[in-house]
Amino acid sequence: MATYVVAIRREARSEAMTAEEWVRQVPGVQVTGAGNPSRLVIEASPQAVSEIERRFGDKLIVEAEIRHNHLL
């Protein structure tokens, strides 16, 4: 599974649900970081991400998490 950042689109922020409540409706998604109701980090298969985008694409943005490794 890959790591993704999910955020609520600006135009959907008036909705009563949080990003976590939306993504938990899709099987195969594990929330790994939350705390901000409009943004969270998940681990999910490509199929689960496709399902999130299909169901909630007008409300959520899903992007692959970019990790920076600092080598000294």
With H, G, I as helix, E, B as strand and everything else as coil, classify residue 2. Answer: strand
Q: What is the tens place of the pLDDT at every residue in 44-67?
A: 999 999 999 999 999 999 999 876
Q: When comparing pLDDT for 25 and 69, which is higher?
A: 25
Q: Which residue would you say has higher pLDDT here, 35 or 62?
A: 62
* Position with higher pLDDT, 8 vs 69: 8
Domain range 2-64, CATH architecture: 2-Layer Sandwich (3.30)
User: Chain-wide mean pLDDT for the chain?
Assistant: 89
The dihedral through the CA atoms of 65, 21, 25, 51 has a sign that is negative
Q: Residues 62, 1: contact at Cβ < 8 Å?
A: no
Domain ranges of the chain: 2-64
